[in-house]
Amino acid sequence: MISQHRDIQRWETLPLGSFLGKNFASSISPLVVTLEALEDFRVESPKQESVPLPYLVVDGKRNFDINFDFILNKNTISRTNFKLMYWNIAQQVAHHTVNCCNLKIGDLLASCIVSGSKSNTYGSLLEFTWAGKNPINLVGGETRTYLLDGDELTLSGFCEKEGKRFVKKRAKELVLARSLGQ
């Protein structure tokens, strides 16, 4: 799984989205999960409000039921699920390659931020804090609007079916100050 920090690149969020945030403090868990490993966890996608362009129309179960926990300094700040993704992976690959992008077998492709509609299911500090206007409270009295030097962010993902957990992955990042000598 990949974690990204669009919070760091606040200015680009509107109108570009998390573009440069993908190249700061990004991490990949030790084991990448293949689509084949997720086959038993396919689910229907959320209903799309507007009709997608023809190349983005899909049918069948194209999303995956993957639970995610976002943990900041040992505080669980969000629990969400990949099945909430408005644009599923098939649509994201189709859109990524529509302009003749040379996507090849083995290439790594990251999804968008995984967010739900409630504050405890948001996928970034930018959403949690309404662009830094509302701090979130952490255990011990600390608050955060953005990541600070020394913060540790953990993204944990797993699939669960019939009471059994499967494909549990963790990615950890530690935010460090950049040395002025570099």
| pTM score of the predicted model | 0.77
Mean pLDDT of 55-71: 91
pLDDT tens digits along 83-106: 988 888 888 888 888 888 888 887
DSSP per-residue string spanning 87-151 = S-HHHHHHHHHTT-----TT----------SSGGG-SSHHHHTTTTTSPEE-TTS-EESS--TT-
Mean pLDDT of 110-126: 80
Domains of the chain and CATH, by start: 2-174 (3.90.850.10)
* Number of Cβ within a 10 Å radius of residue 155: 22
Q: What is the pLDDT of residue 4?
A: 42
Lowest mean pLDDT among 19-28, 75-84, 143-152, 172-181: 19-28
Q: What is the pLDDT of residue 101?
A: 81
